[in-house]
Amino acid sequence: MRECEKRVSSGDFDPKRPETLLEKAFKATAESPRPVGMHRYNTEILLYSYLNQQLASLGSSTACVLVVHQEMLYSANLGDSGFMVVRDGRVLTKSEEQVHYFNAPFQLTLPPEGRYLVSRMLYLLIIYESSFDICSGYRGFIGDTPDLADKSEIRVQKGDIVLLATDGLWDNLTEQHVLDQLRPLIEEKATVQEHVLDQLRPLIEEKATVQEVCLF
User: What average pLDDT does the structure give for the chain?
Assistant: 74
Residue 134 has pLDDT above 50, yes or no: no
* Residues ≥6 apart with Cβ < 8 Å to 43: 123
Is 107 within the bounds of a domain? Answer: yes
Residue 163 has pLDDT above 60, yes or no: yes
Report pTM.
Answer: 0.65
Is 198 within the bounds of a domain? Answer: no
Is 196 within the bounds of a domain? Answer: no
Is 16 within the bounds of a domain? Answer: yes
- 208: confidence class by pLDDT, cuts 50, 70, 90: low
How much of the chain, in percent, has pLDDT values that exceed 90? 37
**pLDDT value, residue 103:** 86
| Total of domains in the chain | 1
Range of the domain at 78: 2-165
Give the residue-averaged pLDDT of 105-125.
53
Is 192 within the bounds of a domain? Answer: no
Pick 137 or 104 by higher pLDDT: 104
pLDDT in tens, 59-108: 788 999 999 999 999 999 999 999 999 998 899 999 999 999 888 899 98
Is 91 within the bounds of a domain? Answer: yes
**pLDDT value, residue 132:** 39
